[in-house]
Structure 1
């Protein structure tokens, strides 16, 4: 019996209209009624999860969320941080310089200023829109080295991003956990930060072994948690490399894939 389900947001839990379908909400509630812990695990900040956590009733002192791709694991009600691994301002400057050298756009998340970018692009605007947060134009080079950061991102057209990914300097690749969360988002995290470690932190807090964990995702940033889980499930709309590591492939996010997976493996 699976006792914890880690669920990615965009492309997984949410359909193309950024909504949770009635069938999916019903399946999640039925799993909760059976005592299964539901954990939303996303590259979004916690602000971008709140409305969905409230919609699903995942807002009690017993609920946890993994956000910023595992940089933070947080008690949803109390705000207690049970795990935190972030990057430094010096790291963000490195990514900014790398982005300039590769002729792609960049933004980052500051613990004080929120979403910051040297120059706003349509994908930074998309990030702000999705998460209902403001954009602050900040030259990364002006940040003090002790300025508290969270993560950095390279954001651009998918073709440009793919080329930039392939041409990242070896020193950068070795220094960060690098995950692609969308065709236009490439994320640079603390090397000890990923969704797998985030879900593991919740499971250990609750005394749940990895074999009793099920995780569902659609993109490269979900790989660590799919590999950690006793059962890793990819969406039909997932990246090919995500499907390749999954134990099972469910329907797409527009076909209630999360609901179908819960019905098959939990509600039996």
Structure 2
């Protein structure tokens, strides 16, 4: 691990920067991350969240240079301009909406400006928001028809409900990648996307490579970037299979895990 090479720091959000159900970053993490910036290290957020569901605290106190959102399906620069996007396929989106409605599963489509809920609006307000005040982003499309070619295609989908049912949707999708986010909740996005591909867009923009990266994560969809980075940091409360691929396992998020890792590795 060569800290001298590091030019880019990548942070997942949920379970890494911010505890699920909360909306603010630990003060120690803010101080430590801004310390990296003072050394000339660029800051990238890489998340399954759509841009409009990123907690305001991140914009206001971290000021990231880039955002990889919706699991790599949409990439923004520091001016919040889209520099890369990968929409899902129309036929598969409609198949998933029909499937969710048939089995009474929650399904929300992540569009550029809002999230349209096509089944079980209540589960999104009660569970998905996890304390976020941004309920206005959710739009009720429970009675709406399926999408047509003139409609905006989502960059991602969130589906909630019985896990084995959602897993069974893999039998009729080929482009859609279905991955568990947490209990009874799944992220769905194009196989042509993914966090790694979105991050590679940023690396190309900055003319950097993975040997110049330190990455922080806590979940299965962070494993690839933790393995690829020069320094991969797993949170102390991450699952064991995530810790196994990391170069460094830090303390738990609520034990100042981000600050502890940065102080241990980058000072």
Contact 2:68/2:198 (8 A) holds in 1: yes
Contact 2:105/2:119 (8 A) holds in 1: no
Aligned CA RMSD, in angstroms, stands at 2.4
**How far does the alpha carbon of each residue in 1:170-212 deviate from its partner, in whole angstroms, 9 at most, with x for none?**
342x422333233342111111211111222112211111111
Output the TM-score relative to the length of structure 2: 0.85
How far apart, in 2, do the equivalents of 1:69 and 1:223 lie? 13
1:216, distance to aligned residue in structure 2 (A)? 0.9
- What pairs up with 1:1-268 in 2 under 5 angstroms? 1=4, 2-15=6-19, 17-49=22-54, 51-58=56-63, 63-77=65-79, 79-100=80-101, 103-111=104-112, 114-128=115-129, 130=132, 132=134, 133-138=136-141, 139=143, 141-148=145-152, 149-156=154-161, 160-161=162-163, 163-172=164-173, 174-267=174-267
Contact 2:23/2:57 (8 A) holds in 1: no
Contact 2:114/2:137 (8 A) holds in 1: no
- SS of residue matched to 1:245: coil
How far apart, in 1, do the equivalents of 2:166 and 2:113 lie? 28
**How far does the alpha carbon of each residue in 1:207-263 deviate from its partner, in whole angstroms, 9 at most, with x for none?**
111111111111122233223322222212223332233232211111111111211
Rate the CA distance shift 1:203–1:52 in 2: closer, same or farther, 3 A: farther
How far apart, in 2, do the equivalents of 1:240 and 1:130 lie? 28
How far apart, in 2, do the equivalents of 1:74 and 1:65 lie? 5
Rate the CA distance shift 1:237–1:57 in 2: closer, same or farther, 3 A: closer
Contact 1:89/1:147 (8 A) holds in 2: no
Contact 1:177/1:192 (8 A) holds in 2: no
How far apart, in 1, do the equivalents of 2:144 and 2:93 lie? 7
How far apart, in 2, do the equivalents of 1:169 and 1:140 lie? 24
How far apart, in 1, do the equivalents of 2:7 and 2:119 lie? 44
- SS of residue matched to 2:169: coil
**How far does the alpha carbon of each residue in 1:31-55 deviate from its partner, in whole angstroms, 9 at most, with x for none?**
1111111111111222222623333
Structure 1 residue ranges without an equivalent (≥5): none
- SS of residue matched to 2:67: strand
Contact 1:96/1:140 (8 A) holds in 2: no
Rate the CA distance shift 1:70–1:130 in 2: closer, same or farther, 3 A: farther
1:165, distance to aligned residue in structure 2 (A)? 4.8
1:103, distance to aligned residue in structure 2 (A)? 5.0
- SS of residue matched to 1:130: coil
1:29, distance to aligned residue in structure 2 (A)? 1.1
